[in-house]
Amino acid sequence: MRLLSKLFNFVIYTTSKYNLDESHGLSHSLDVLRYSNSIYELEVLKKKNLINQERIIYVSAALHDMCDKKYMNEKEGLQNIEDFIKDKLKSDEVYASLKIMETMSYSKVKLNGFPSLGEYQSAYHIVRESDLLAAYNFERALMFNMCTKKCDIKDALINSKDVFNNRIFKHHEDNLFFTDFAIKESLKLHDKSIEQMYQWNKIINKEI
């Protein structure tokens, strides 16, 4: 529990230092870690080696966007993370956490495919899939567009709908989910995001 407090304090510090907007800050870290825990609790029943990788999963889930190239130099971000966790984890845990965070982004997977992380492959997919699940929040997409692209709410709606239709709603078609929890949960979130999209489309297009 003490480690979790330190992780989230680091997220708060890094978010402030590099001006990360709400879509990639503390709230997103909390969401990804929560999903990671849900997946882990089911996967560990089938893959006993995950018992020794729980901290790797939680660290990677909490800190994964603290090296995001949209907000900072990726190598600098990874070095900051390494400096922060190297006295809190074993050396192999540090290595695995950094490799997961370095290779898990949607854009890197689409460009390079999945990395080969050996015994840490399952931990990698748990964190990666959790990040994808968190992306189904349509309001998060609106926030990202308004904050980073400085566009108004109508343009944010158009851009967000484009991302969902051409990327997020194709996660299953692109075979990006492997765990039972993520497969089932993503279907629920798919429907929820469609409802969010419908509601925001209705609100934003009102003449107020």
Mark residue 150 as left, alpha or beta (left: phi above 0; alpha: psi -120 to 50; beta: remaining): left
Instruction: Give me the pLDDT at residue 1, please.
Output: 57
Mean pLDDT of 155-177: 97
Host domain of residue 28:
2-204
What are 38's two structure tokens? 């849900």
Q: pLDDT for 104-131, tens place per residue?
A: 999 999 999 999 999 999 999 999 999 9
| Cα distance between residue 93 and residue 96, in whole Å | 5
Q: Which amino acid is at 67?
A: C
Average the pLDDT over 29-41 and give the result.
Answer: 98
Q: Report pTM.
A: 0.96
Q: How many domains does the chain have?
A: 1
The pLDDT of residue 43 is 98
207 — pLDDT class (breaks 50, 70, 90): low
pLDDT score at 149: 85
Q: Which residue, among 119, 138, 128, has the nearest Cα to 39 in the 3D structure?
A: 128
Q: Which residue has the higher pLDDT, 2 or 73?
A: 73
Tell me the CATH number at 84. Answer: 1.10.3210
Confidence check: pLDDT of 206 > 90: no
Is residue 150 very low, low, confident or very high in pLDDT (cuts 50, 70, 90)? confident
- Given a cut of 70, is residue 195 above it in pLDDT? yes
Note the pLDDT tens digit of each residue in 90-102: 999 999 999 999 9
4 band by pLDDT with thresholds 50, 70 and 90 = very high
Mean pLDDT score across all residues of the chain? 96
Cα separation of 29 and 176, whole Å? 20
